[in-house]
Amino acid sequence: MARRAQHHEQEHENHERWLITYADLITLLLVFFVVMYSISRADLEKFRQVTSSLRAAFNLEVLDSPAPPKRITAPLEQDPRFATYLGVRAEMMSLLTRLGLDRESVEVELTYEGIVIHLSDTLLFPPGQAQLRPEAARVLDGIAGILAALPNQVRVEGHTDNVPPPAGAYPDNWELSVMRAVAAVRYLTDVSGLPPERLSAVGYAQYRPRADNSTLEGRRKNRRVDIVILQPAPGSMVGPVVP
């Protein structure tokens, strides 16, 4: 029995020995933070002495700490283009519903240049061609109705992916993108009746992609016609703002 009692007493002593090490560690950490605090206070005092010397020598007001530059941006709802953007987007969604078209084939975006209507190439053209599909008339007539109610200039842009057009059709994507933009402009003016002086056509080939051309989905998104409703951009707004 005496041996058992002695054995339990030794075990009790061993279990409490870790407290000594723990207390030493806490003490060391406390000393470390006290030293770091002292160093930081010393640096702060030196900085204040330097700023005081500069004030006296140059008669200047020196800030204790530099303030980060502030970027002033107006709330999106206060942008004069925002209401127009909402109206165009709502009308485009209504048009797609009436025509029974997939909403993923059209996207409306507010950018620093104005309001952009992204149209998938499959809505308007056969693959690798610049002749409008018969079904494109409904889409372009609907868009013409939206544009007719606005006073803005409109730029129609042709875009492709990085795959060359079929042999013998067009020399390269530059010509294909330009011809697609021209075909859309001609329909909007000659058939839908928009004033020609309000429209322009431009082709960018594959050089202004919206997505990665290394994937099928990216190339599908890049093959498009963009109708840009041009508006002056406030200085506080840059790049795509609203998807």
To the question of pTM greater than 0.85 for the whole model, the response is no
What SS3 string covers 194-241? CCHHHEEEEECCCCCCCCCCCCHHHHHHHCEEEEEEECCCCCCCCCCC
pLDDT band at 7 (very low <50, low <70, confident <90, very high): low
CB 106 within 8 A of CB 117: yes
The residue behind tokens 């919206």 is 210
For 13-70, what is each residue's pLDDT tens digit? 556 666 677 677 777 777 666 666 665 555 556 556 655 654 555 454 444 444 433 4
User: Comparing 125 with 23, which gets the higher pLDDT?
Assistant: 125
User: Comparing 56 with 88, which gets the higher pLDDT?
Assistant: 88
Tell me the HSE value of 193 on the side-chain side, using a 13 A CA sphere: 6
For 161-178, what is each residue's pLDDT tens digit? 999 998 888 999 999 999
CB 184 within 8 A of CB 81: no
